[in-house]
Amino acid sequence: MPGHLSIKKLTAPLNVIVGSALILAVFLFQVPSAPGAESLTQIQVPDSLSPALAHLLDLSDPQKQLSFQPDKIKKLLEFVEGPKDPGVLYFADRKLGSPSAYFDFDVRQHFDHIVQYTFNPNLPGYLTTPSSTRLSHWEQVTGLGGQLPLLWKMADDQEAPLIFNGLEFVENTPDVFSGAYYSYHLYRTLVRYKADDRKVIISISKQKGKSDVGKKGYVLGSDDNWDYFYSGKPGLTMPGLGWVRSRMDDSYGINIYYEIDSYAPLLRCAAFKWVRAGWSKINVVKKHHIHSGIKRFAKSFKQIMEYPSLPSIDAVGDAFSKINAMTADELKGKIKIYLDILENRYGRDYRPPRAWSPQVFKDRRPWFQMSKEAMQSVLMVEYMKQAMGKSDANAVMALSGPSK
Clarify whether residues 55 and 188 are in a common domain: yes
Helices (H), 49-163: 50-59, 74-81, 111-118
Q: Is the pTM above the cut of 0.85? A: yes
Give pLDDT, residue 98: 86
Residue 1 within a domain: no
Clarify whether residues 245 and 326 are in a common domain: no
Percent pLDDT > 90 in the chain is 68
With b for 16 or more beta-carbon neighbours within 10 A and e for fewer, the 242-255 pattern comes to bebbbbbbbbbbbb
Which residue type sits at 389?
Answer: G
Q: CA-to-CA distance for 190 and 174, rounded, in angstroms?
A: 26
Q: CA-to-CA distance for 47 and 35, rounded, in angstroms?
A: 29
Q: Residue 9 above 70 pLDDT?
A: no
Give pLDDT, residue 138: 94
Clarify whether residues 144 and 249 are in a common domain: yes
Q: Residue 291 above 60 pLDDT?
A: yes
Q: CA-to-CA distance for 160 and 175, rounded, in angstroms?
A: 40
Express each pLDDT in 294-327 by its tens digit: 999 999 999 999 999 999 999 999 999 999 999 9
Q: Are strands 278-279 and 100-107 parallel, antiparallel or unpaired?
A: unpaired
> Could you say which of 306, 321, 339 is where a domain stops?
306
Residue 18 within a domain: yes
Clarify whether residues 321 and 224 are in a common domain: no
Report the DSSP beta bridge partners of residue 232.
none
With b for 16 or more beta-carbon neighbours within 10 A and e for fewer, the 24-57 pattern comes to beebeeebebeeebbebeeeebeeebeebbebbb
Mean pLDDT of the chain: 86
Is 261 in a helix, a strand, or coil? strand
Q: CA-to-CA distance for 86 and 53, rounded, in angstroms?
A: 22
Clarify whether residues 248 and 173 are in a common domain: yes
In terms of pLDDT, which residue wins out, 10 or 32? 32
For residues 241 and 29, the answer to whether their CB atoms sit within 8 Å is no
Clarify whether residues 73 and 90 are in a common domain: yes
Clarify whether residues 298 and 318 are in a common domain: no
Give pLDDT, residue 21: 34
Clarify whether residues 23 and 166 are in a common domain: yes
Clarify whether residues 219 and 175 are in a common domain: yes
Clarify whether residues 206 and 297 are in a common domain: yes
Measured N-to-C along each axis, helices 313-324 and 372-387 cross at an angle, to the nearest 10 degrees, of 150
Give pLDDT, residue 364: 94
> Could you say which of 306, 330, 346 is where a domain stops?
306
Report the DSSP beta bridge partners of residue 103.
271
Q: What is the mean pLDDT of residues 349-378?
A: 94
Domain count, the chain: 2
For residues 219 and 228, the answer to whether their CB atoms sit within 8 Å is yes
- Classify 87 in phi/psi space as left (phi over 0), alpha (psi -120 to 50) or beta: alpha
Q: What is the mean pLDDT of residues 317-346?
A: 95
Q: CA-to-CA distance for 285 and 57, rounded, in angstroms?
A: 20
Give pLDDT, residue 176: 86
Express each pLDDT in 181-210 by its tens digit: 999 999 999 999 999 999 999 999 999 999
The secondary structure of residue 262, as a DSSP letter, is: T
Q: CA-to-CA distance for 57 and 34, rounded, in angstroms?
A: 28
Residue 125 within a domain: yes
Rg (C-alpha) for the chain, rounded Å, is 21
Give pLDDT, residue 385: 94
Q: Which range of residues forms the domain containing residue 356?
A: 311-404
- Spell out the residues 6+ positions from residue 120 whose beta carbon is closer than 8 angstroms to its own: 150, 313, 317
Q: Are strands 88-91 and 133-141 parallel, antiparallel or unpaired?
A: unpaired
Q: Are strands 88-91 and 41-44 parallel, antiparallel or unpaired?
A: parallel
Clarify whether residues 340 and 376 are in a common domain: yes
Q: CA-to-CA distance for 77 and 54, rounded, in angstroms?
A: 14
> Could you say which of 262, 286, 306 is where a domain stops?
306
Give pLDDT, residue 404: 53
Give pLDDT, residue 142: 87
Clarify whether residues 371 and 284 are in a common domain: no
Closest CA to 107 of 97, 99, 98, 117: 117
List Cβ<8 Å contacts ≥24 apart for 69-75.
70/161, 70/193, 70/195, 74/195, 75/46, 75/48, 75/49
Percent pLDDT > 70 in the chain is 84
Residue 283 within a domain: yes
Express each pLDDT in 80-124 by its tens digit: 999 999 999 999 988 767 899 999 999 999 999 999 999 999 999
Q: CA-to-CA distance for 162 and 183, rounded, in angstroms?
A: 29
- Spell out the residues 6+ positions from residue 396 whose beta carbon is closer than 8 angstroms to its own: 341, 382, 383, 385, 386
Express each pLDDT in 68-82 by its tens digit: 999 999 999 999 999
Q: CA-to-CA distance for 284 and 348, rounded, in angstroms?
A: 37
Banded pLDDT at 240 (limits 50, 70, 90): confident
